[in-house]
Amino acid sequence: MNNRRRMIHSAAEIVIGAVLLITVRLMDGDSIWLGMGGALIAVGAVQLFLGLRYRMDAEYRERTDTEAADERNQFIRSRAWVWASTGFVLIGGVMTIVFQILGRQELSTLCGTGVSLLVLLYWLSYLVLKKKY
């Protein structure tokens, strides 16, 4: 995503967040939507600020571009995803068993489904990437 697109995206997030916030306030709705609206505004504002900085500050732009293209950084990012998903599967697997022992069937099923979904996504990704490379 280029910077202009990212800034439009951020502005849209702020507008959607504000609309959500105002609508929930007017309709006296659920607080979860209030939180979501606030979070959208906060995320949009931070991204917009970073987008503006990218536009104005040449040094920051160069540093950001280098970081994005840096192959070690990309390697670290993909390794971090591997670690995170492995951790998710291990913790999810253990929690499935623990909840089963504790008789919390719903939670056990939820954890088991999460793990299964991730493993399924892994295999689908593997098949796609196998064809690609």
Partner 1 sequence: MKNRIEEIRRMRGIRQEEFAKAMGVSRQTISSLETGRYNPSIFLAYKIARYFSMTIEEVFLFEESEDER
Judged by the rule CB under 8 A, the positions of this chain that interact with partner 1 are: 66-67, 69-73, 75
Closer residue to partner 1 (CB): 83 or 123: 83
CB-CB contact of 51 with 13 (8 Å): no
Closest CA to 14 of 38, 50, 34, 30: 38
Angle at 60 between CA 59 and CA 61, to 5 degrees: 90
Shortest distance (Å) from residue 70 CB to partner 1 = 5
Closer residue to partner 1 (CB): 86 or 109: 86
CA 105 to chain centre: 28
Closer residue to partner 1 (CB): 30 or 67: 67
Shortest distance (Å) from residue 78 CB to partner 1 = 12
